[in-house]
Amino acid sequence: MAYSKIEVTPYGGAVGAEVGGVDLGELDNETFAEIEQALYENLVLFFHDQDITEDEQVAFAARFGPIGYYPFVEGLRDHPEIVPVLKEAGESLNFGGVWHSDTAYLEKPPMGSVLYAKELPPVGGDTLWSNMYLAYERLSGGMKDVLDGLKAVNSSRKGPAAITREARIEDHGKEDAADYYEAVHPAIRIHPATGKKAIYVNIGHTANFEGMTEEESAPILNYLFEHAIRPEFTCRFKWEVGDVAVWDNRCAQHYAMNDYHGHRRLMHRVTIEGEAPA
């Protein structure tokens, strides 16, 4: 699509675009409409040099829909909608350091998130995204037929993702959080705005297909976990302080690189409420 209010430059061949000409603290409706369209086309958008307040970050996220919630960790005291995504210099694990689609274990996982870089290591700490439309398109017809009828069980208990949130739960865990969350969603979901099909299983949260054991599900799930993140479906974003990323959680997975040991990294994340995947 042609844009008149924003400049959209593809960031990679498969997913992601940089958006210029925008101050996220001062958006009019027409500019926002173009941003939303660019998000549908590119799945993740990057905005550089943003100097926005907490209120402005929340207001930007709220333009996409009601603010969502993260069940395990408290938000900032003055802005509970903002969850700090933090790795302290002395910690070894990072939050989000496994490929995932955010909180797929909820009945209504978020439609997306807005992530704002506040403090970064001198080098490293990139984030990768992968395009789940493209991953679906590249499956064989036979595999598509098999998956189209399957539902998958997503659980917050899966080990590799669960351990990445432990330190933050220790610091600022929500007292009313359940021990774990589980939700069954279609293995292939249809995006409510674009009508396109996307793979909706991820190694962070998907445990098994409904009606099958983990052992029975594993051969196909493990294939999909690998397939979904093939390098040609991904982009890797190198952050600068002041950068903002917004992604569509319904058709993209992401991964926070953990390669900056001994340094602190702090991001502010706001999630946007989604619908039950269909």
Q: Interface with ligand SIN by CB under 6 A: which residues?
A: 85, 95-96, 113, 115, 127, 254, 256, 267, 269
Q: Which is nearer to ligand SIN, 197 or 269 (CB)?
A: 269
Say whether 77 is catalytic. Answer: no
Q: Which residue is nearest to ligand SIN (CB)?
A: 96
Minimum distance from CB of 234 to ligand SIN (Å)? Answer: 14
Q: Is 176 a catalytic residue?
A: no
The least CB distance from residue 268 to ligand SIN, in Å, is 10
**What is d(CA 99, CA 220) in angstroms, rounded to the nearest whole number?**
17
Cα–Cα distance measured from residue 187 to residue 201, given in angstroms and rounded to the nearest whole number: 6
- Active-site annotation holds for 78: no
Q: Which is nearer to ligand SIN, 85 or 183 (CB)?
A: 85
Active site residue 254: yes
Q: How do beta strands 17-20 and 44-47 pair?
A: parallel
H/E stretch holding 247 reads strand 244-248
Residue whose C-alpha is closest to residue 115's, from 206, 11, 8, 24: 24
One-character DSSP codes across 64-113: HSSB---SSB---SS-TTPEEEEE-TT-S--TT-S-B-TTTTSSS--SEE
Nearest to 71 by CA among 159, 169, 164, 160: 169
Q: How far is the CB of 126 from ligand SIN (least distance, A)?
A: 8
Which entry of 100, 191, 250, 265 is annotated as an active-site residue?
100
CB 94 to ligand SIN: min, Å: 7
Rank residues 57 and 113 by Cβ distance to ligand SIN and give the closer one.
113
Complex with ligand SIN: residue 95 or 105, whichever CB lies closer: 95
**Cα angle vertex 119, ends 114, 122, to 5°?**
125
Pairing status of strand 234-237 against strand 252-256: unpaired
Q: Which of 185, 254, 265, 268 is catalytic?
A: 254
Which of the residues are catalytic?
100, 102, 254, 269
